[in-house]
Amino acid sequence: MDLIQPTSGSAEIFGKDSRRDSLELKKVIGYLPGELMQFPSVTAGYILNLLLNLRGVSDRTLLHTLAERLQLELDRNFQDLSHGNKQKVGLVQAMMHKPKLLILDEPTRGLDYSAKELLIKQLIARSESGAAVLIATHDVELVAELATRIVILADGDLVADGPTVEVLLASPAFAPQVTKVMSPRRWLTVGDVLKALE
């Protein structure tokens, strides 16, 4: 929020001006950037505890719960982690202070299938607890599993905006694999297929 100052217009988040109230907003927003910061030779746990300290959060319960649920080893040196496990560090830091708004840029980058499933469960839990989750991604399967609304942009232009089912079924280019295989049925996920078979 502080890196690039707007040249015109304004942005409000939860009724707060993003320029005047940026410190306050940082307490209620969790953010996963497209490119993770690189850290020196310290453990994942050290990094996450440091970030909690900077946020003024003393309760470490959620940090440890998220790390366990995402199968992140906090005692491993950050430099020795795979790209997927570094991504998990970024995901935990975005969620560990219970933000009201979670903004994730390509959250499944580097994650294997099982880690992606674990992430989906955590994002559903965050949403069910009342948090808003905004995801920028090329992962159509993730969108099919999670999204209630989709906005598709191309070169800065709005291509589509609407309910997930409507947008993903409108064009084969945007459709997930299940939809392509099961067309003309209106199914997006394996879960949709299993539910229909019941």
- What pLDDT score was predicted for residue 175? 87
Around 31, how many Cα atoms within 13 Å sit in the side-chain half-sphere? 11
Asked if 70 and 88 touch (Cβ cutoff 8 Å), the reply is yes
Residue 143 belongs to some domain of the structure: no
pLDDT in the model for residue 57: 80
Nearest C-alpha neighbor of 176 from the set 193, 186, 189: 189
User: Domain range holding 75?
Assistant: 17-137
pLDDT (tens, 9 = 90+) of the chain, 198 residues, equals 455 677 788 778 888 877 776 777 777 889 998 888 777 789 999 999 998 888 878 888 888 999 999 999 999 999 899 999 999 999 999 998 889 999 999 999 999 999 999 999 999 999 999 999 999 999 999 999 999 999 999 888 999 999 999 999 888 888 888 988 888 888 888 888 888 888
Instruction: Provide the CATH number for the domain around residue 66.
Output: 3.40.50.300
Tell me how many domains the chain contains. Answer: 1
Give a yes or no: residue 185 inside a domain.
Answer: no
What pLDDT, on a 0 to 100 scale, did the predictor assign at position 133? 95
Asked whether residue 158 is assigned to any structural domain, the reply reads no
Query: What's the confidence (pLDDT) of residue 3?
Result: 58
The pLDDT value given to residue 118 = 92
Answer yes or no: is 42 within a domain. Answer: yes
Residue-level pLDDT at 1: 46
| Contact between residue 62 and residue 96 where contact means Cβ atoms under 8 Å apart | yes
How confident is the model at residue 156, as a pLDDT? 86
Give the model's pLDDT for residue 4: 67
> Is 66 inside any structural domain?
yes
Does 194 map to a domain? no
* Token pair recorded at residue 15: 């009724």
Q: Is residue 53 part of a domain?
A: yes
pLDDT at position 18: 75
- For residues 88 and 84, give the distance between their C-alpha atoms in angstroms, rounded to a whole number: 6
Q: What is the pLDDT of residue 139?
A: 92
Q: What per-residue confidence (pLDDT) applies to 40?
A: 73
The answer to whether residue 130 sits within a structural domain is: yes
